[in-house]
Amino acid sequence: MAEHIETAQPGLAHAAPPMPRLAGWRGFFSDWASDQRAFKNVSWMKAMMWIFLLSDTFIFSCFLLSYMTVRISTTVPWPNPSEVFSLHIGGQNVPLILIAIMTFILISSSGTMAMAVNYGYRRDRTKTALLMIATALFGATFVGMQAFEWTKLIMEGVRPWGNPWGAAQFGSSFFMITGFHGTHVTFGVIFLFIIARKVLRGDFDHERRGFFTSRRGNYEIVEVMGLYWHFVDLVWVFIFAFFYLW
Amino acid sequence: MSQATMAHGSAAPTAAVQRDTHQQHPIKLYLVVWGWLFVLSTASYLVDYFHLEGYLRWSLILLFMILKAGLIVAVFMHMAWERLTLIYAILAPPILVLVFVGIMAFESEYTLFTRIFTGAGS
């Protein structure tokens, strides 16, 4: 017992030689069975972002589940999203075209973000920052198009408590789900600009301390930012499939 | 998984700055995935455009959705190169949501049944 306390002094844990890491299922069980940290080669900020994203997954799952529940249980026909979200282009009604363009824009932003992470680890300041700004601009375009979509639907009489085409639950599901997703995109855009500025200023090369945490940052923050951004894209994949296409 | 990790380790160009939490892959990989996401999104849009209906429509929507989600999580979010411990900690809990889906589908069918037979609500 006394020996145990002595070896548990702070600092000693870091000095101990690293244990060999097992792969596959043996690694899975030995990682979880250890009494210190389960995520061996993942930094705290990456692990915490993943855990946050897991909790966010449950939030969006609940929204999509409530949407499923009200859509199944209503006796009134559900409005046809293909027609509701169509646009008049060149005298023709093109179904769902705005949503398709928004999907492509969000996917493109994920592409630029993935490359920004890559250039971040190569310590290429300019390319990382430019790709992050491109990502943010794609995101801002997405939010702008969503604002256009909301305006159009509100002008046509869609409200959370009713709409001209069918089940009243359509409006409440639409505003709740797309509103929450749009909020996520908006916050992503804000943080992309903040971190792009830090990258451009060289904060992660000179290990400048953050104004809020007073900690020295490093380029891994670009990857963690990327995880959040890809998650926003991921949620849209599910919203696109279940709300717009179903 | 271990093979993928080793392949990734040996392919890393800058061993000096390489720590094991860093994800370093060729840019081409991201461009290929980006291209596939475009193709899959176009495909799911075409499902609506050509007015496919019924089980064909739903199965195609789900297929394209799962493929897209898989590509984003595996490559863009680097899950394919993480250890099993993180993969299962993050990806296993959402599977339980499917149980919730089952419960709520059952419940809403019952609600629909009562609404039809009592003529109440909408």
Write the pLDDT tens digit of every residue in A41-100.
888 899 999 999 999 999 999 999 999 999 999 999 999 888 888 888 877 888 888 999
User: What CA–CA distance (Å, rounded) separates A103 from A60?
Assistant: 18
Check CB contact under 8 Å for B17 and A233: no
pLDDT at B18 > cutoff 50:
no
Cβ B50 vs Cβ A238: under 8 Å: no
For residue A217, the tally of other CB atoms under 10 A from its CB is 18
- Min distance A3 CA to chain B CA atoms (Å): 30
Task: Find the range with the poorest average confidence among A74-78, A225-229, B7-11.
Answer: B7-11
Check CB contact under 8 Å for B122 and A117: no
Check CB contact under 8 Å for B48 and A246: no
The whole-number pLDDT of residue B4 equals: 42
The whole-number pLDDT of residue A246 equals: 87
- CA B68-A99-A135 angle, to 5 degrees, is 65
Cβ A243 vs Cβ A173: under 8 Å: yes
- Min distance B7 CA to chain A CA atoms (Å): 14
Query: Residue A11: left (phi > 0), alpha (psi -120 to 50), or beta?
Result: left
pLDDT at A231 > cutoff 60:
yes
Cβ A193 vs Cβ A136: under 8 Å: yes
The whole-number pLDDT of residue A11 equals: 46
- Nearest chain A residue to B15 by CA distance is A122
For residue B96, the tally of other CB atoms under 10 A from its CB is 11
One DSSP character per residue, B14-81 reads -TTT--TT-----HHHHHHHHHHHHHHHHHHHHHHHTT--HHHHHHHHHHHHHHHHHHIIIIIT-GGG
For residue B86, the tally of other CB atoms under 10 A from its CB is 20
- Min distance B93 CA to chain A CA atoms (Å): 8
The whole-number pLDDT of residue B15 equals: 40
Cβ A185 vs Cβ A232: under 8 Å: yes
The whole-number pLDDT of residue A200 equals: 92
Check CB contact under 8 Å for B112 and A31: no
Is B101 part of the contact surface with chain A (CB cutoff 8 Å)?
yes
- Nearest chain B residue to A81 by CA distance is B48
pLDDT at A130 > cutoff 60:
yes
For residue A2, the tally of other CB atoms under 10 A from its CB is 6
Condensed to tens digits (0 to 9), the pLDDT of residues A142-170 reads 999 999 999 999 999 999 998 999 899 99
The whole-number pLDDT of residue B71 equals: 95
User: What CA–CA distance (Å, rounded) separates B61 from A58?
Assistant: 21
Tell me which residue in A73, A76, A241 faces B44 most closely, judged by beta carbons: A241
- Min distance B24 CA to chain A CA atoms (Å): 6
Is B10 part of the contact surface with chain A (CB cutoff 8 Å)?
no
The whole-number pLDDT of residue B22 equals: 66
Tell me which residue in B69, B97, B108 faces A237 most closely, judged by beta carbons: B69
- For residue A132, what pLDDT band results from cuts at 50, 70 and 90? very high
- CA A212-A214-A219 angle, to 5 degrees, is 95
Condensed to tens digits (0 to 9), the pLDDT of residues B48-105 reads 888 888 899 999 999 999 999 999 999 999 999 999 999 999 999 999 999 999 999 9
- For residue A12, what pLDDT band results from cuts at 50, 70 and 90? very low
Query: Residue A9: left (phi > 0), alpha (psi -120 to 50), or beta?
Result: beta
Identity (one letter) of the amino acid at A68?
M
Condensed to tens digits (0 to 9), the pLDDT of residues A183-211 reads 999 999 999 999 999 999 988 888 888 87
Rg (CA), chain A: 23
* % chain A with pLDDT above 70: 91
In this predicted model, which residue has the larger pLDDT, B18 or A21?
A21
**Across chain B, which distance is largest between two alpha carbons, in Å?**
73
User: What CA–CA distance (Å, rounded) separates B56 from B61?
Assistant: 9
The whole-number pLDDT of residue B21 equals: 56
Which A-chain residues 171-210 have CB contacts (< 8 A) with chain B?
none
Is A92 part of the contact surface with chain B (CB cutoff 8 Å)?
no
Tell me which residue in A23, A57, A121 faces B2 most closely, judged by beta carbons: A23
Best of A62, A69, A138, A169 to disrupt the B interface by mutation (most B CBs within 10 Å)?
A: A69
pLDDT at A17 > cutoff 80:
no
Tell me which residue in B37, B97, B111 faces A107 most closely, judged by beta carbons: B37
- Min distance B10 CA to chain A CA atoms (Å): 16
pLDDT at A5 > cutoff 50:
no
Tell me the two tokens of residue A172.
């409440």
User: What CA–CA distance (Å, rounded) separates A4 from A20?
Assistant: 22
The enclosing H or E element of A93 equals strand A92-94
